[in-house]
Every structure is written in C-alpha cells, then in structure tokens.
Structure 1
Amino acid sequence: MKKIIFILLLLPASVLLSRAQSDDVWQQFKDKFPDEPAVFVERSEVLNILPDGDSLKVYLDVTEDILHLKEQSDIFSGKRVYGSHFNQVANLKAKTLVWDKNRYKEMVVSDFKKNSDRSAGIFYDDSYYYSFDFPSIASRNRTQLQYRENLKDVRFVPGYVFASYLPQGKSSYVIKTTKDVELSYEVLHDDKKQIQFRKTEKGNSVTYEWSAQYMPALKGEENSPSIRYFVPHVVCYVKSYKTKKGQVKVLSNLDDLYSWYYTFVEKLNKDNSPELSAIVEKIKANSKSEIETVKKVFYWVQDNIQYIAFEQGMRGLIPHNGSYVCEKRYGDCKDMANLIVNMLQIAGIKAYHTWIGTRDLPYRYTEVPTPLVDNHMIATYISKDGQYYFLDGTSDHTTFGYPSSMIQGKEALIGIDPAHYEVKEVPVIAKEKNIMTDTMKIKLDANQLVGTGVSTLSGYPKVFAGYELDRSEKDDVKRYVTKLVGKGSNKFFLDKYTLQFMEERDKPTRVEYDFRISDYFQKLGDELYINLNLNKDYYNDFINVASRKAPRDIEYKYIKYEVIDMTMPDGYTVEYMPPNAKYDGPLLGCDVSYESLPGKIRCSKKFYVDYIMLQPEQFTAWNDAVKQISEMYKESIILKKK
C-alpha cells in the first residue's frame, strides 16, 4: 500500500569528545562492551516541525558517531542512507576520523552513489538509497555520518527506536517545534525506565527530548516479531496546529485519519468497463446466493489479478479504478481490494474499502490514530447475519472465510461512507480450523522402516503449502513435500508422491506418498526397540529464559493428527507397550495412545499449538510443556521373539 522507511540502522551523532580524551574513551567503551566490534558514541535524530504559513515544514537531522573497538569492524564500512518521495535525503556528509599519534585526521567521503531500492515483486518503487564506503576502518577510528530528511507530510513521522545493532553510549530523539503545534507522544516498552524525558520552553519555541545512556546492542533472535513489539521507542504525531486562519487538525483523533484516507477512494469506480460488467454479470448468474457471489468474486480476483506492488508517491496510497485493474490484470493490495469492492458494487452487494496493518506492525487504530498502524488494504463484506468477511486478494491461496494469516488479530478500519467507519478486530483463527492429518502404514523390512502415507492439509496449512507447491521446478516441489511429510531421522527418503486438490481452495490438499527410513529401529538380542513417534514436534525446544528478550512469533495456530499402523513382524510379540500419555496445556499439547490390534500396533497422536505470539512472561510455561511432551516422545515399543 505504501512504504514508510524507518531509519533504524543509519543512526545519528555529534562528536562528543575532544581529541585529547579519545584514547581514554576508547578504553572505557572497550571495558564496558568487550565483545562488541564497535559502539555508537552517540546516535541522535532531531525532528523539526515548524509552522510555515498555512502548513508545516518538517525535516529530520540524523547523525551518528561510531567508535570502532576491534580491527575486524571493517564489516561496518559500507553504508546506505534511504529516501523516497515522502522523505527526501539532503546534505549528506560522511567521514572517518583516523587515530594517528594521539590525534584524529579526517578522511572525508566524496563518492556517494544513488541507487533505486526496487525489491523483488515491486513493479515500481520510488524509494532509493545512497551507498558509500567509509575508508580506513580500524580499531580506535571513528566513522561519522550526517544528513537531513525533508518530510513531505507530517503524518508520516515514524518516531524513534532506542535500539540498534551496536551498543550506544548515548541515544537521543529531539523534537523542536513551537507552542502553536499540538503534539501527542508516548514511550513504549520502557519497563526498565531507561529513557529520560525533558521538555523545555523558550519564548514560543518548545523542545522535547528523550535520551538514554549505554543501551546494549540488539541481538537477533529466531522467530522474533518486529522490534517495535518489544524494544523501547517513542511514537509521536501532530494533533493540530494554529495558523492565522485558525486551528488546523492533522491527526487529532481517528476521525481525522479516516477523513484523509477516504479522499483516496471517494472518486473511484465512477464508470465501469463493459468487460468488468460482463464478468460480474456472469458470476452473479452462476451463483445461487449473495454469499456465493461474494465468494466467486473473491476467487476470481485471486485467480486473475497478479499481485505487483507499486510505491510511487501518492500512488502508494491511492488505488486504481477497478476497470483499469481488470484490463491490466495486475495490481497491488489496494488495487485488488478496490476491484473486489467495485465488482460487488456492480453485483448490487455492499462491500467496503478497508485499511489494516499486517502483523509486522504492533499498533492499533484505537491507540495510535496515524499511518504507523497500517501498511495494507483489503475489502470487507458484512453478511446479512452480521458475519464479517475480510477479503485479501493478495493472498491467492486463502480459502473464502479466512483472513490472510498476516492480519490475524489486527484492527481493520472499515470505510462505510464519507462520514462513517468501523474499527473491527480480525479474528485469530482457532487451531481447530487449521488441521494437518497424517495416516501411515509401516512395516519393518531388513534394516529399514518402509511405509505409505496420506497427509491432508486444510486452513492455513493448505494456504502455506499452496505457495510452496505452486512452483514450476519439480525438484523444488519434491524438496518441500519431503520437508512436509519427512519423519524419523535425516535418513528419511521419499520414494514417490502424488498431489491432489491443490487448486481447489474449499477442499483439503491431499498428499499420498511412499517412503523409507534406514537404521531407524534397534535390535538387541531377541528384542526390537521401535519408537513410533516418527514426528517429534518441538522436541527439547526450550527457550533460554535468562537470555531471550523478544517474543516468539509463528504464522498460525494448528492441530496435527497422526495415526501409524505398524504391521507386526513375523515371529515377534509385544513385550512392552508404552502407556497412553496426555498433556493439555494453554500453549501446546499432545495426546499419544497405543493399541495392540490383530496383526498390527497402532499409535495415535494429537498435537496442537495454541498461540501466534509467545510473550516472555509465558516462556516458563512453554518450557514446562516442552519438557513433558519431550518425555512422551522418548517412549519405545519393545517386541520380543516368540
């Protein structure tokens, strides 16, 4: 929908220390951060919001000052400074201060290369970056960077994150404005009270400053959400400002944000092309009910419109007309959302443009009424019985009735008409609607376990498998199927497989397969030891409670059912059958049972995961569950020769 660039890594600074002090300062930082390759002596961003006639002039001065603590810190020599239509980069300066004979010598960077920042899948992107290299990166040297960002719209102020890939001696965020500008601001996730705040006034000028000392480096952790979910940061926005003509509202409340957003869609779809009208008429004629028409329109857009993102100034915010998207057969999220709305309007069915943030963004409209909340657009249909259908055309494998997984739990801003909107929370889909089943028949053959299996996928497991299986290269498909049905050990081999119902969204995907696993069971004397827990989900997957700081994020909740029928080998009888076991926890659970049936042993298992974001205060409960379930996985059947 649009791209807002948050500057998290290209950070601020002014030179804090005199040359005579520099060697002592190096030692101080070396002692405090002995394992770090470098440190920000200072990061700072100074945001200026100044009345300029009837509008606001907004610009951000960014500086950074890095002191290198180790020789191998040359990995930090290459830099990028990002800009776009909404934040133009100016006054770019960079230099290295080379420590030589107890004083610094300047080496100024002069070669700045401007590059397009076009990403894969982006048809047009107006973002760009300047790339350059700092010379002479070495221990005790310092690299300094300064530049300005001219912001075209004060609504896109991103705030400031007090975290970086390096530790920081001082990190600060300053807003310089006047008493004519009404600000709203909040510090988030500062439980340890690391951030100090100061507000000063002088005449009509007002300065807000947030600062922190000796912030540790932010370490990457597996399956973490956006850092804005858990690191200290400031969110701020302009509510209103005074002019000679009176008070001008900007983002005083959600009404202001919606009024602005509605201007992007109010003039759309005035004239419908014959082609689009004919497509809708055919869909409606072949539908027996309104809900069936909605479903078929949704599937038509998924099947016929290729998702290609656009990021070009206001074009990153305003959709194309439905007829245009239908003709071109491609569009981005807002184009596809508007096409769905347009087609349903032609069919005489009300549907609504809807703004929403993906789970990459932690904010809610009811808390932060700014564009920080959203980065995506969908359509919403409300049935006559009051059920909400969140229609994301970009998620082309998603079944009707499911939101795309990336908007679960997020607030949707539903545009009803020019004066009315509704905020509705998208549900998190229950684990009972995301089902995987795996039914296997196995037998022992020499030193191998061989078998056949049937696996089915419905709900989000089907959606995500659809993206992986929808590939042109057979080797890629086989690798994914092997990963999907693989079990036992790294000696699993997939002999053959067939796929069914991949393209039929309302049917579970079905995978039939033949497999073998070498050296899986043990033979000791006249006894055989076989562990029928071929899949050990989350086995010993303990979280280090002392070190992990970030929540843990997954795509969806789910249940997995498994049934294994093992043919009894000739001449053997059951010596030991594990007891049935069950753990039913709030985050995950497992239920395993064993049966001795004529000519075979059956192992049945139900495993579930019941969260999409695991918070640090839940880590201990998670570890307790993993411990109990991992013990269940260790049980083996013992067979003995008659």
Structure 2
Amino acid sequence: MECQNKALVSAGKEGIMKKTFLSLSFVMVVMSTFGQSSDVWQEFKSKFPDEAAIFVNRSEIQNIVIKADSLQVFSDVKEDVLHLKDQTEFLSGRRVYGSHFTQVNNLKARTLVWDKNRYKEMDVTSFKKNSDRDRGIFYDDSYYYSFDFPSVALRNRTQLEYTENIRDPKFLSGYVFQSYLPQVKSSFIVKASKDVTLFYEVMNDPNKLVQFKKSEKGGIVTYEWFAENMPASKSEDNSPSARYYVPHVVCYVKSFETKKGKVNVLSDLNDLYRWYYTFIKDLNKESSPELTSIVEKIKASSKNELDLVKNVFYWVQTNIQYIAFEQGMRGLIPHNGSYICEKRYGDCKDMANLIVNMLKLANVKAYHTWIGTRDLPYRYTKVPTPLVDNHMIATYVAADGKYYFLDATSDHTAFGLPSSMIQGKEALISIDENKFEVKEVPVMSMDRSVMTDSMSIKIEGTQLVGTGRSELSGYSKVFGGYELDRAEQDHVKRYVTRLLGKGSNKFYLDTYSLGDLEDRDKTTKINYTFRVADYFQKLGEEMYINLNLNKDFYNTYINVETRKAPKDNEYQYVKYEVVELAIPDDYVIDYLPPNATHHADLVGYDMTYQSLPGKILFTKKFYVNYLMMNPSSFQEWNDAVKKVSEAYRESIILKKK
C-alpha cells in the first residue's frame, strides 16, 4: 500500500528510512574520549546495572560548504559502544545504510579487546555490500554494508566510523537523540559557512534534555546540540515512528549567499513546491491510442462527472498492479500515463499520474498531490522539506467543493474514502506551475468503519452451535479485503476464524461464504456456521452462559509507569454484536446481567440484555475513537478497560423448570 519514495527519504534515518531498530543506531556517534582503563567499565557498570551495553559516545558532525554556486554536504558519523555484560553477541552484527542520494564512504570498524589492563585493537576486515530491497520493491538503489564486530564480550568496546556524502542539501534529516542503547554522551554538530542560513528546532524535548550552543570562528558557524545520559528508546507494541515522541533535531538549509546573490534552497514551502513541480511538468505530453480508448469507454458508461472520476479511480485500482520502483531520480519522477497503462504496473506516483492523465483526457481536472503517510510526523506548514512526504496521490475537487483524495495503491478502498495511512495528513496539491494548495486530509469518523456480527446460537449437548452473518464497511472492509482476497484458501479460513472466533480456542468454524468482497461500494458479507465446545458451565440445576462471545480489549491495561510511546491505531471504528440465544425447553431465565454503558472519548460500549419469548437477545456496541493515543490519555483508557472487563465477566443464569 504505502509508496516508500526512498529517493525522498534515503538521506533520512530511523523512521524516515524504513529501518526501525538498527536505523536509530545508524544516526551515529563519536569515538570515546575516555582513557584505556578498567575504571571506565567499573564506573558505567554501576551506573547502568540493568543494561547489556551503552553508547559511551555517539555523534554526527555535518559540514555544509559553499563551492562555487552550490553546496556540498558531508557528515562524519562515529560511535563507541561499551559492553557491560557477557551476553551481548546480539550486538555484534551491524549494518550501515546508503543510497543514491546518501553515499557511504571511509567505513571503519574495530573492537577494543580488554586484555591485561589495556585495550588491544581488532579491526573489522570484511564489509559486505548488499542491495536493500523491501518486500514489494521491484527495483531499489538503496544498499547497506553488513559486518560483524569480532570478540564482542564483557568490558570490550566496539567502535564505528564512516562518512556520508549527501548529494543534495534538500535531503538533510537532522538527528535523533535516542537510540536502542542508553547514551552517556550524544551530540549533533553542524559546521556551515556564515553565508548559509539554517532552520533548526529541537522537537519532543519538554524536559530540555538537549542543550544547544552556537559559535562562529573564521567564517564558519558551529551549531552544536548535545545531551548526556539519554535513556534507551524501547520498542513498544503499536507505537508510531520514534520521531513522534523522542527528542530530535530538525535542521535544514534555507538559503546561502554566493557572489551572484542569494540562492534559496528550502526557504519556505514555495521553494519545495517549485522543485517538486519540475518532476511533473513534462509528463503526459502525448497519450497512446490504448489509453485514449479506455478513457472513452469509461466516459461513455459514466452517468456524470463524479461517476466518471470514480470509474477512472476504480479502473486504476483494478488494472494497475502496485510495484515500487526506486532508483535515483526515478524515486521522484513518475512515468507517463501511457507507459503505465501499457505495462499494467507502477508505484504510487505512477498510479497517481495515470489518474491525472486519464481524467485530463476526459476533460476533468485532477491534481498531482504529494503527501506523507502517518509514519512521518511532520507537516508542510511547519517543516517544508522532503522529510514531510513519502507518497503521491491524485486529488479531485468536485463542483460542490468537496475534495476527493485518490490513492489507488489502496486497492480495496472505496471512492470517497482516503487510504487509512494518510488520514489527518497535509496534502500538497499541485494546481499549476505557480500555484499549489495545502489541504488536510480528513480523519474518518468511527461510524465510517463498521463491523456487524449477528448470530443465533443454541445448546446442543456440551456445545454452543450457531449460525452468523458478519458485514464489514469502510476500513474494516479494506483491511479485511487484504486478507480475504487471497488465493490460498487455508489462509482465508484462518483469517475468518480469527475475525469471527467466539469464546475460546475451542471455537470451530464449520462453513463460511463470502459476498461482495470485490464490490468496493458494498459491505463485505460473511455467512458462517460454527460451534464452541465446553463454553458454558452446569452446576446442579443451573446453567451459566457468558453471551460476550467476543471480549475485545479484555484486561488490556497500559502500564502508565513504564510506557513512554503513544499508541497508534490504523483507523477508528465501531463494532456491533447481536447474539440471540435459544432457551432450552426445560430451562427458564433465572438471572439476566444488568445493562452496561461507558462512553469516553477514546473507547466506549453499550451492552443490553433482553428477555423475549423462548430466547435471550444480547446486543453490544463497542467503539474505538482514536488514531494516536498519547500517554496523557493512558489512564482514561485503563479506566474504560476496567469497566468493560468487569462487564465481560457477567453471565446469564438459566435454571431448570
């Protein structure tokens, strides 16, 4: 789904590149200034008793130099890791990433082996260069060097240094101050000519852990950010990119002075747009007879302009296979629409351009649109650089002023529904050579994504036996579609079992059938039969049955003391359940639980029990109403979880007549 425009992000680190764990280490470090003494290990062992290893020093020094009428940028990256425990072999293997836009040079690595009260150097002699291809990437010019530090053990130190040559100053990515290990010292230094104007800002640092100083000498301005005793950034479930919440510096070039005058680089959003426009200005000069014929057929079958736009969008979703292709400037410039139509595959920018091309042939205006997925925390109005985006879509503006954000990479998404990964993001819409618009993609309300699950159950022997019907709409349909639209039927059945599983691991899905899976404008239907063994309990003449066959978020408390990262959610949704239980002929109702309700901003539910002739009707509405839950809301979540978990424990009681 997501188009990783690596040419835009390869110069970035951590979440901006696609590496999440070791990429934080790759934002790098300075060689240790501590002496060769066992006291170093003794000191830090007592200071970090629970840690396997620490960064003694980690740094990046970035040099921005004016050469003639252009800028040259290179960074010296260094790190020094002290191993505090024996079991640190997992830290021996390393990778250093590069790409067309960020070339890695002068790579050196060594282990300092503690032996007889002194360190002995053991150099790494083998660095293997590998192609770095994500799943779904057809061609990718990113690469990495892999190597292993020798003799990684207690008291030893592993040191790494290399240079990054950044081929375009627009791709500066700043520096992340937290990594996967604690850091004694961490620093980011930028040395630039006094004729270079920078933007810089420290983000996510409410406790002022990162200090800053600026100095000038000999026409060179030094900007230095530094921090001490930074804790490790721990991996936590459902957390967003680390740049959403860890301290980091965003720094980029606004402009520089030459003998010919001022040269703007990214002084404001106008500069970014003017550069981006060069990628699309020469597209679609001619259209093939095949593409023209396809558009004419779609136009002839469409009722009106809005229907035409929908049909073009659906044609691209259905007929063009998403395959990313990232090589140098090819990561930025789309192919012409006719080429993509002929090949029947393309990446996000190819599919977006094809939609624009097809609608233009139909005399309908649509616009190339750059946008970042929710993996990226930045906004054009705050940070007008390539850090903001990694994706392209098309935008259509209807006569009534409504914006339609058309992302054909999300092939199960209905017309009018933006792909889930761009909700709430700013879109940079290209109107013409000199005009653009920034528009925020709306966040879809929870009522747009609904799952209903209605079932009739009865007791047969020691089992619950039932028939059910489930319907999926909105993003529930989209995400379900990716799993249900598979050739491997065993995979599909396993997914349906997970989606509809009731009560316990003794749930068995007997049969199921799918309806309207391919029709984006209708809900997906799943009709099924099932049984659950040993679900209810008999005590004497009483029978206990819990009608909460699905217990969403039961006891899913968040540890408010230890969790620092927000919780990320793909989309907001509502889930309805209706359970109709046939009362056995020789039983009557002895106890119905009280109705339960809890409505909060993030999550809520309504549960009702109703006695009807010969049956009990249980209904439940459960909603999740957030895309990102910040730590300040964790207690609200826990309060709701406590209440719903208590309600889940209630059972009906049937008694023999």
| TM-score, with length taken from structure 1 | 0.99
Query: C-alpha offsets along residues 362-401 of structure 1, whole Å, 9 cap, x if unaligned?
Result: 0000000000000000000000000000000100010000
Q: Which residue of 1 aligns with 2:478?
A: 463
Q: Which residue of 1 aligns with 2:91?
A: 76
Give the alignment partner of residue 504 of structure 1, picking from 500, 519, 524.
Answer: 519
Q: Which residue of 1 aligns with 2:283?
A: 268
**Are positions 1:173 and 2:173 aligned together?**
no
Question: Matches of 2:426 and 2:524 in 1, distance apart?
Answer: 30
**Are positions 1:16 and 2:19 aligned together?**
no
Question: Matches of 1:85 and 1:252 in 2, distance apart?
Answer: 24
Question: Matches of 1:193 and 1:12 in 2, distance apart?
Answer: 20
Q: Give the C-alpha shift of residue 203 in structure 1.
A: 2.5
Query: C-alpha offsets along residues 594-629 of structure 1, whole Å, 9 cap, x if unaligned?
Result: 111111110011111111100111111111111111
Q: Which residue of 1 aligns with 2:300?
A: 285
SS at match of 1:372: helix
SS at match of 1:255: helix
Q: How does 1:26-105 map to 2 (within 5 A)?
A: 26-105=41-120
Question: Matches of 2:573 and 2:149 in 1, distance apart?
Answer: 49
**Are positions 1:380 and 2:395 aligned together?**
yes
Q: Give the C-alpha shift of residue 464 in structure 1.
A: 0.3
**Are positions 1:244 and 2:259 aligned together?**
yes
Residue type at the aligned position of 1:367 = K
Residue type at the aligned position of 1:373 = V
Q: Which residue of 2 aligns with 1:548?
A: 563
Give the alignment's Cα RMSD to 1 decimal. Answer: 0.8
Question: Matches of 1:541 and 1:75 in 2, distance apart?
Answer: 31
Residue type at the aligned position of 1:371 = P
Residue type at the aligned position of 2:318 = D
Query: C-alpha offsets along residues 305-364 of structure 1, whole Å, 9 cap, x if unaligned?
Result: 011101100100000000011011110000000000000000000000000000000000
Q: Which residue of 2 aligns with 1:483?
A: 498
Q: Which residue of 2 aligns with 1:226?
A: 241
SS at match of 2:452: strand
Query: C-alpha offsets along residues 553-590 of structure 1, whole Å, 9 cap, x if unaligned?
Result: 11000011111000001211000111111111111111
SS at match of 2:514: strand
Q: Which residue of 1 aligns with 2:605?
A: 590
**Are positions 1:445 and 2:460 aligned together?**
yes
Give the alignment partner of residue 310 of structure 1, picking from 305, 314, 325.
Answer: 325
Q: Which residue of 1 aligns with 2:16?
A: none
SS at match of 1:402: coil
Q: Which residue of 2 aligns with 1:537?
A: 552
SS at match of 2:25: coil
SS at match of 1:115: strand
SS at match of 2:57: strand
Give the alignment partner of residue 634 of structure 2, picking from 619, 623, 630.
Answer: 619
Q: Which residue of 2 aligns with 1:210?
A: 225
**Are positions 1:2 and 2:5 aligned together?**
yes
Question: Matches of 1:323 and 1:66 in 2, distance apart?
Answer: 53
Q: Which residue of 1 aligns with 2:434?
A: 419
Q: How does 1:508-587 map to 2 (within 5 A)?
A: 508-587=523-602
Q: Give the C-alpha shift of residue 239 in structure 1.
A: 0.4
SS at match of 2:535: coil
Residue type at the aligned position of 1:299 = Y
Question: Matches of 1:365 and 1:287 in 2, distance apart?
Answer: 36
Q: Give the C-alpha shift of residue 549 in structure 1.
A: 0.2
SS at match of 1:9: helix
Question: Matches of 1:192 and 1:447 in 2, distance apart?
Answer: 59
Q: Which residue of 2 aligns with 1:258?
A: 273
Question: Matches of 2:135 and 2:628 in 1, distance apart?
Answer: 28
**Are positions 1:156 and 2:171 aligned together?**
yes
Question: Matches of 1:493 and 1:32 in 2, distance apart?
Answer: 53
**Are positions 1:638 and 2:616 aligned together?**
no
Residue type at the aligned position of 2:553 = Y
Question: Matches of 2:336 and 2:127 in 1, distance apart?
Answer: 39
Q: How does 1:333-372 map to 2 (within 5 A)?
A: 333-372=348-387
Question: Matches of 2:268 and 2:84 in 1, distance apart?
Answer: 47
Unaligned runs of 5+ in 1: none
Question: Matches of 1:582 and 1:8 in 2, distance apart?
Answer: 44
Query: C-alpha offsets along residues 37-90 of structure 1, whole Å, 9 cap, x if unaligned?
Result: 111000001111110110001011100100011111011111111100000000
SS at match of 1:314: helix
Question: Matches of 2:602 and 2:170 in 1, distance apart?
Answer: 39
Question: Matches of 2:40 and 2:629 in 1, distance apart?
Answer: 40
Question: Matches of 2:162 and 2:111 in 1, distance apart?
Answer: 15
Question: Matches of 1:107 and 1:582 in 2, distance apart?
Answer: 65
SS at match of 1:8: helix
Q: Give the C-alpha shift of residue 15 in structure 1.
A: 2.2
Question: Matches of 1:35 and 1:293 in 2, distance apart?
Answer: 62
SS at match of 1:72: coil
Give the alignment partner of residue 391 of structure 1, picking from 383, 386, 406.
Answer: 406
Question: Matches of 1:614 and 1:63 in 2, distance apart?
Answer: 35
Question: Matches of 2:215 and 2:5 in 1, distance apart?
Answer: 35
Question: Matches of 1:126 and 1:132 in 2, distance apart?
Answer: 20
Residue type at the aligned position of 2:25 = L
Query: C-alpha offsets along residues 249-300 of structure 1, whole Å, 9 cap, x if unaligned?
Result: 0000001101100110011000000000000000000001000000000000
Question: Matches of 1:585 and 1:2 in 2, distance apart?
Answer: 38
Question: Matches of 1:118 and 1:612 in 2, distance apart?
Answer: 29
When the two structures are aligned, how many residues end up with a matched partner?
A: 640
Question: Matches of 2:469 and 2:579 in 1, distance apart?
Answer: 11
**Are positions 1:601 and 2:623 aligned together?**
no
Q: Which residue of 2 aligns with 1:629?
A: 644
Question: Matches of 2:44 and 2:493 in 1, distance apart?
Answer: 51
Question: Matches of 1:273 and 1:420 in 2, distance apart?
Answer: 28
SS at match of 2:87: helix
Question: Matches of 2:555 and 2:123 in 1, distance apart?
Answer: 52
SS at match of 2:349: helix
Question: Matches of 1:598 and 1:77 in 2, distance apart?
Answer: 69
Unaligned runs of 5+ in 2: 14-22
**Are positions 1:196 and 2:199 aligned together?**
no
Question: Matches of 1:593 and 1:206 in 2, distance apart?
Answer: 68
